[in-house]
Amino acid sequence: MTSPRPSLAAAVRRALISAHDKTALAEFARGLAALGVEILSTGGTAKLLRDAGVRVRDVSDVTVFPEILDGRVKTLHPRIHGGILARRDLPDHLATIERHGIEPIDLVVIGLYPFEATIARPGVTLPEAIEQIDVGGPAMIRAAAKNHASVGVVTAPSQYGLVLAELRAHGALTDETRAALARDAFRRTAEYDAAIAAYLSGHAASEAGDSAETFPAGRRLDLARVLSLRYGENPHQAAAFYRSSGGAATGLAAMSQLHGPELGYNNLLDFSAALGLVGEFTEPAAVVIKHTNPCGAAVGRSVGEAMVKAKASDPVSIYGGIIGVNRILDTDVVRALAGIFVEILFAPAFADDALDELRRTKKRCRVFQVASDRGTAGPGTIEYRSVRGGLLAQTPDDVDLDEKTLKVVSRRAPTGAEMRALRFAWRVAKHAKSNAIVLTTGDQVIGIGAGQMNRLDSARLALSRARDAGLEPRGAVAASDAFFPFRDGLDVLAQAGATAVIHPGGSLRDDEVVAAADEHDVAMVVTGLRHFRH
């Protein structure tokens, strides 16, 4: 069924063009001019179009008023907004603009000042950001979108082709197209205003350290869809991946798929968990995630060496896992994963021969290039989780161990090797679901108990995992994401041969737990810092 021919009231005779993003703008304007559309423009846009051979009428000639205040005021004038807002179906409106010598504007093409790109630059100052807040552009966009029964509004270069095609066919835009353009326009101004509000709120919170600014009484989320997913947690559920609009894309929003099938909802949950864990390490590291929990992690002289050890952490659970490394992924990593089905494999970069081998041998593996830097969230970042009836919001858990706050509470202090291993275990435990017990050497996870209803079961599970993998818990260290409420969990670890333990402390029975450590000659360090993960 074809759309009805546009009415003459929707004909495009005059267009106002003012866009900071000049992508394909000259070609678009030439297309309009070739259809007999008069072009109005301002400043740099007018110069660009003239240089491209497009005949342009300056807005200042229409308003009979010069641009002032360094260009801050140029389109904020009745001769512009009257021409946009006048309803073509109301004789009184048409008589009014004719009486005041105002010419109708039928198409508004606006590209806003680059506020989002500006605040994404490292080290940008508040005055620099404020200077990139557009005023006239959003006003014209909203005016045109409100009057979309008669006026078309274009806010992105991706819309140029559709608009030109319809104008060439009909000399006008269809009702459906103008309505769709208006929806996109209001969405764009909402994104823009949300980015400004979020930036200013984040800046105020970081300046004042004020939780009221971090979590104001009202908050609007503005999200842009990145991907439509195969399905949600289960095949009968629909799903999509969104990122925060405005600012630079970080984390999964910055991923680039190099190989493999499309993503699902669960893939992205696991991918996010793996990206967070691998970002904990500065030395070459490899991590394996299964159902958002670590099941393997190791560091080494190279990511290939780390991958061999991470695979050995749990050679059963690695099948169907999400695997990441924090250096260029080379053929050593590919060889370590030979014969293993991997859902996702990611790295900050890939050696050409390694990528070729992955494409040849792992047809079903999704391969992604993504940065694995620690702390990519940035100031003012808030994490959200949906609950029935609303959202939970919190600041990210990006706190690392502070050497000055560590306290040895046992009779025996950890050796240097034990302390290095405890730091490694603590970083992994931060990413395991509570209650979490993580057993490690200085460079390799050997067993994890996570997501259990009590800490004793977590300790037993960590030891069971180590033994199933053929790894020796004797001489290992252990990290607990929260305090030991009773000594029983510590007793199980010590009896199996763990020599040092790190945990937050703070239990009513801390003295009892410390006494147990001394009984077993276990070195115990408390952090005063908890890393619950639910």
Q: What is the pLDDT of residues 371-396, one digit of tens each?
A: 987 655 555 678 999 999 999 999 89
Superfamily (CATH) of domain 11-199: Methylglyoxal synthase-like domain (3.40.50.1380)
Answer whether residue 318 shows pLDDT above 90: yes
Structural tokens at position 528:
């005063």
Predicted local distance difference test score (pLDDT) of residue 90: 85
Strand order in the sheet with 293-299: 256-259, 366-369, 342-347, 321-325, 285-290, 293-299
Structural tokens at position 408:
């040895």
Lowest mean per-residue pLDDT among 208-222, 302-316, 333-347: 208-222
Q: Which run of H or of E encompasses 24?
A: none
47 catalytic per annotation: no
20, 93, 146, 170: the catalytic one is 146
Answer whether residue 340 shows pLDDT above 90: yes
How many other C-beta atoms are found inside a 10 Å radius of the C-beta of residue 347?
A: 27
d(CA 514, CA 410): 6
Domains 225-369 and 403-526 share a fold: yes
d(CA 404, CA 421): 18
In the block, residue with structure tokens 């994963």: 337
Kindly indicate the confidence band of residue 75, based on its pLDDT and cuts at 50, 70 and 90: confident
> Under CATH, which number does the domain 403-526 receive?
3.40.140.20
Predicted local distance difference test score (pLDDT) of residue 433: 96
Q: Which residue from 397, 361, 360, 370 is spatially nearest to 381, judged by alpha carbons?
A: 397
Superfamily (CATH) of domain 225-369: AICAR transformylase, duplication domain (3.40.140.20)
Average pLDDT score over the chain = 90
What is the domain partition of the chain in residue ranges? 11-199, 225-369, 403-526
274: three-class secondary structure by DSSP = helix
407 catalytic per annotation: no
Q: Per-residue pLDDT tens for 136-163?
A: 889 999 999 999 999 999 999 999 999 9
Q: Per-residue pLDDT tens for 17-70?
A: 998 888 999 999 999 999 999 999 988 888 999 998 989 888 887 877 777 777
Average pLDDT over residues 283-308: 97
**449, 460 contact by CB (below 8 A):** yes
Give backbone dihedrals phi and psi of 349, rounded to 5 degrees, phi first.
-165, 165
Answer whether residue 231 shows pLDDT above 90: yes
Q: Per-residue pLDDT tens for 185-210?
A: 998 998 888 888 877 877 776 665 55
Structural tokens at position 293:
């929990």
Average pLDDT over residues 202-230: 73
Structural tokens at position 210:
């004020």
CB crowding 369-401: b at 16 or more within 10 Å, else e: bbbbeeebeeebbbeeeeeeeeeeeeeeeeeeb
Residue percentage of the chain with pLDDT more than 70: 94
Kindly indicate the confidence band of residue 8, based on its pLDDT and cuts at 50, 70 and 90: very low
DSSP letters, 221-261, are: --EEEEEE-S-SSSTTS--EEEEESSS---GGGG-EEEESS
d(CA 224, CA 270): 21
Q: What Å distances lie between residue 452 and 121, 455, 458, 478, 479, CA to CA? A: 43, 7, 6, 16, 15
Predicted local distance difference test score (pLDDT) of residue 377: 55
Beta bridge partners of 223: 244
Predicted local distance difference test score (pLDDT) of residue 6: 53
Predicted local distance difference test score (pLDDT) of residue 1: 43
Q: Per-residue pLDDT tens for 410-467?
A: 999 999 999 999 999 999 999 999 999 999 999 999 999 999 999 999 999 999 999 9
pTM of this prediction?
Answer: 0.75
Structural tokens at position 371:
């940065």
Average pLDDT over residues 272-298: 96
d(CA 394, CA 375): 15
DSSP 8-state class, residue 442: S
